Amino acid sequence: MPKSLPLSALGIMLFCNVAWAMNVVVSKIAVTTLGLPPLFYTVLRSATVLAVLFPLLLRQKPDRLGLVLLIGFAITGGSFGLQFIGLQTATPSAVGIVNLAGAPLTVLFAIIFLGEEVRWRRGLGMALALGGVGLAIGAPSDAGDPVGLGFAFAGVLIGAFASVFVKRLDIGAVSLQAWAGLASLGVMLPGTLLLESGQIAAVTAAPLAAAACVLFAGVVVSVGAHSAYFRLFQAHDANLIVPLTLLTPLLTIAFGTWLTGDAIGWPLIIGGTMALIGVAIIVIRPSRTIPKPQLTQPEL
């Protein structure tokens, strides 16, 4: 394995981090400024992913299709739907910090269900990460309604739980996105029809802006950034790739401050720093049961 990444790989990782960070900000704009109902926005995103990757569904039906659909829904539509609900009242910066809970939660579920052994260093990392996220959610601040952050945390929780079982699926990352798009559409479309209103009015009020948000989330982030991220692991050492993903929460805070006027108070700064240090400890320690990509990107 090479001891350093070529500039091309660094460029790809920079693109991925920017896309992931901007996705939170763009989603905030979609569900607040544009007024797209969050479940409906999830439907549009899933439909876009499915439209792009539909040929993969025709190639071969995966083994254990029911489990593929269930896990795929959890790490896409289920987790994103809850995050979009949370973004109606929470800031992108705070949600970016909450997303750091994915790594310790994934390890925690691996301990419970896969017998993962955790020594004191990763245990310390888990405590710091979860403590920092808890501070960001619970402390009084301008980061948004704690209920909104609670929805975002629930999305991370579901994504982390499902990602533990991805290793048991005999399917590639891109193909999983295609089947996940189908599963998410099948669940979220009835959900938005039953629970939400004003979908058509929101789209017709700003059709170009709505289309731009959906295309960015579905094509640039889900298909483009995630596919590029997982392909890097075919050519480079995971220990060189995964730590670079820690740039995402920093960029999320920067973009949130710049584009949506997020207020960055001390609870968010201290909690975010604790969580970032904790996740850094987790990702540099080897794991027996969890592929490193799933620690930092449990959602697709």
Structural domain tally of the chain?
Answer: 1
Range with the poorest average pLDDT among 19-23, 66-70, 147-151, 264-268 = 264-268
Q: What is the pLDDT of residue 245?
A: 83
Q: Which residue has the tokens 């990107």?
A: 297
Q: Domain of 27?
A: 7-290
The reply to whether 295 falls in a domain is no
pLDDT in tens, 193-247: 999 999 999 999 999 999 999 999 999 999 998 888 877 866 677 667 777 888 8
Q: Which amino acid is at 140?
A: P
Q: What is the pLDDT of residue 79?
A: 93
Alpha-carbon distance 89 to 132, whole Å? 20
pLDDT in tens, 197-208: 999 999 999 999
Q: What is the pLDDT of residue 2?
A: 44
3-state secondary structure the chain: CCCCCCHHHHHHHHHHHHHHHHHHHHHHHHHHHCCCCHHHHHHHHHHHHHHHHHHHHHHCCCCCHHHHHHHHHHHHHHHHHHHHHHHCCECHHHHHHHHHHHHHHHHHHHHHHHCCCCCHHHHHHHHHHHHHHHHHHHCCCCCECHHHHHHHHHHHHHHHHHHCCHHHCCCCHHHHHHHHHHHHHHHHHHHHHHHCCCHHHHHHHCHHHHHHHHHHHHHHHHHHHHHHHHHHCCCCCHHHHHHHHHHHHHHHHHHHHHHCCCCCCHHHHHHHHHHHHHHHHHHHCCCCCCCHHHHHCCCC
Q: What is the pLDDT of residue 227?
A: 83
Confidence bin at 59 (pLDDT 50/70/90): confident
Alpha-carbon distance 152 to 173, whole Å? 24
The reply to whether 134 falls in a domain is yes
The reply to whether 2 falls in a domain is no
The reply to whether 154 falls in a domain is yes
Q: What is the pLDDT of residue 1?
A: 41
**CA distance to 27, 165, 229, per residue, from 214 (Å):** 9, 28, 20
Cβ count near 54 (within 10 Å)? 12
Range with the poorest average pLDDT among 8-12, 134-138, 251-255 = 134-138
Rounded mean pLDDT of 141-168?
Answer: 84
The reply to whether 272 falls in a domain is yes
The reply to whether 296 falls in a domain is no
Percent residues over pLDDT 90 in the chain: 50
Q: What is the pLDDT of residue 173?
A: 81
pLDDT in tens, 157-184: 998 898 888 877 888 888 989 999 999 9
Higher per-residue pLDDT: 145 or 82 = 82
